[in-house]
Chains A and B, each alone.
Chain A
Amino acid sequence: DAKTTQPPSMDCAEGRAANLPCNHSTISGNEYVYWYRQIHSQGPQYIIHGLKNNETNEMASLIITEDRKSSTLILPHATLRDTAVYYCIVRSLPGYNKLIFGAGTRLAVHP
């Protein structure tokens, strides 16, 4: 699976959008971009995934560049409960493949 690069930490004011970048310059055509987050003392939680089109769900939006070498996770209105470590993971088929976690980005949302 392709390696990903994320900033180690970011800050965001409550109510503002949090934009978390991820570089995956060696991604191949059949690899998906996945985002998980881990709130302190909990197991990781799935957020969103995409292949090449932008995706949106009730939690977040995922913007993937046209060349697919980078992506951005957007939390449109961050709350204090969004404080967590966010992991960008590139996954290939088959669908039961294991997750390879990097160091992630520690997002701190402050009042």
Chain B
Amino acid sequence: GAGVSQSPSNKVTEKGKDVELRCDPISGHTALYWYRQSLGQGLEFLIYFQGNSAPDKSGLPSDRFSAERTGGSVSTLTIQRTQQEDSAVYLCASSLAGGNSIIYEQYFGPGTRLTVT
């Protein structure tokens, strides 16, 4: 079936502008995650959503970053007043819910490459 999709694949924006990145998870996956990968850096967790629970926002680097997930499916990551250090590849992943006795693997999308000029 269809995997995780993200749009746009590339985004170039001017410093100070707001951007929205979209993620369409695999159908039926209730857990959704956002990560980012800066040039020369590792993969860094940002936020995750699990069903109707409050999202874990512990990885968001500043209050300029926010994310929402509408209807338990599509998610949007918003970066306000972008800075050059926000330039990175933003990756979305989804998985089945898992729980206290089982872990399911995460499936990643191809990412959105964000360049802030």
The residues of A with any CB-CB pair to B shorter than 8 Å are: 32, 34, 38, 42-46, 49, 87, 91, 93-104
Contact = CB atoms under 8 A, between A and B. Distances in A.
16 contacts: A43-B93, A44-B93, A44-B106, A45-B108, A87-B43, A94-B103, A95-B96, A95-B101, A95-B104, A96-B31, A98-B33, A98-B59, A99-B33, A99-B93, A100-B45, A101-B44
Interface residues of B, number: 31
Most-contacted residue by chain B among A34, A38, A46 (CB, 10 A)? A46
Nearest to A47: B105
Interface of B: 4, 31, 33, 35, 42-45, 48, 50, 56, 59, 91, 93, 95-111
B43 A101 contact: yes
Contacts, number: 73
Given A43-B111, A44-B91, A91 B42 contact: no
A99 B106 CA distance: 9
A101 B42 contact: yes
A59 to B, nearest CB: 12
B84 to A, nearest CB: 21
A43 B31 CA distance: 17
B103 A46 contact: no
A43 B45 contact: no
Contacts of B101: 93, 95
A35 B115 CA distance: 29
A99 B103 contact: no
B59 A43 contact: no
Nearest to A93: B100
A67 to B, nearest CB: 22
B107 A99 contact: no
Most-contacted residue by chain B among A43, A87, A102, A103 (CB, 10 A)? A43
Contacts of B109: 43
A97 B103 CA distance: 8
Nearest to A51: B103
A93 B103 contact: yes
A95 B99 contact: yes
